[in-house]
Homo-oligomer: A and B are copies of this chain.
């Protein structure tokens, strides 16, 4: 009981590895064994149709899981709730995902790719002001269009990212390290005021994600959300004013 947290993390790690393999080969796996008696090779057409169906259903479940996990947290969301939302039976859900953790991790994995993508666009040959402006816009659009993803990511990181830590540490660290260098170059060239690159990136993340993660607070205070187009542009403009002014060389 006392180390249930640590034990759970260990379990999760293990499951991540397993799911890496099993997820991609699911449905074909039993075929490898128990050949011998009969060479039943399905036609390419039917196979791909089946796979498409299977993948579609997986996607539906993942979507429902994302929605539900992001609302109630991993422990607050029950499998039955997710199954209901995805309009499948609980048993059926367990047919596609071996357990809750694998489902959760699958959701997270999709997330991380999506979350990291915008930062990759940062390249040295861009004008820094434009690059940052673009980044703000893309990230704010992400907050508007994928609030569930944003919240779930936030939740996971906040709880110590027990599942993503390994996946987060290396790739994220490398990517950021890379972008830090880009920003530093800009600074050295006098295109950006002297600000610690780390914190610039953190500020960009923080300010844009805030509008998704603290949505209800923002709604309580301002009475609007990013779904309101006017509020969206107003927000973007304000962030540009604050941050771009802040980092423009004087």
**What string of 1s and 0s marks CB contacts (under 8 Å) between A76-89 and chain B?**
10001100100000
Known A-B contacts A172-B217, A173-B220; the reply to A158 vs B151 at CB < 8 A is yes
A193 is an interface residue with CB less than 8 A from chain B: yes
Residue of B at shortest CB range from A161? B216
Inter-chain CA distance A241–B237, complex, in Å, is 19
- Per the CB 8 Å criterion, the residue count for chain A at the interface is 64
Copies in the complex: 2
Inter-chain CA distance A99–B183, complex, in Å, is 51
A16 is an interface residue with CB less than 8 A from chain B: no
| Interface residues of chain A: helix, strand, loop or mixed (majority) | helix
A229 is an interface residue with CB less than 8 A from chain B: no
* Inter-subunit contact B217/A161 (CB<8 Å): yes
A234 is an interface residue with CB less than 8 A from chain B: yes
B residues in contact with A159, CB < 8 Å: 71-73, 76
B residues in contact with A172, CB < 8 Å: 217, 220-221
A51 is an interface residue with CB less than 8 A from chain B: no
A210 is an interface residue with CB less than 8 A from chain B: yes
Which of B157, B216, B238, B241 is in CB contact (< 8 Å) with A217?
B157
Query: What's the least CB distance linking A126 to chain B, in Å?
Result: 19
* Inter-subunit contact B158/A214 (CB<8 Å): yes
Q: In the complex, given contacts A165-B216, A202-B207, what are 18 additional A-B residue pairs having Cβ atoms less than 8 angstroms apart?
A: A1-B80, A2-B81, A71-B159, A73-B73, A73-B75, A73-B76, A75-B76, A76-B159, A158-B213, A168-B216, A168-B220, A172-B221, A176-B221, A193-B245, A195-B242, A199-B238, A243-B246, A245-B250
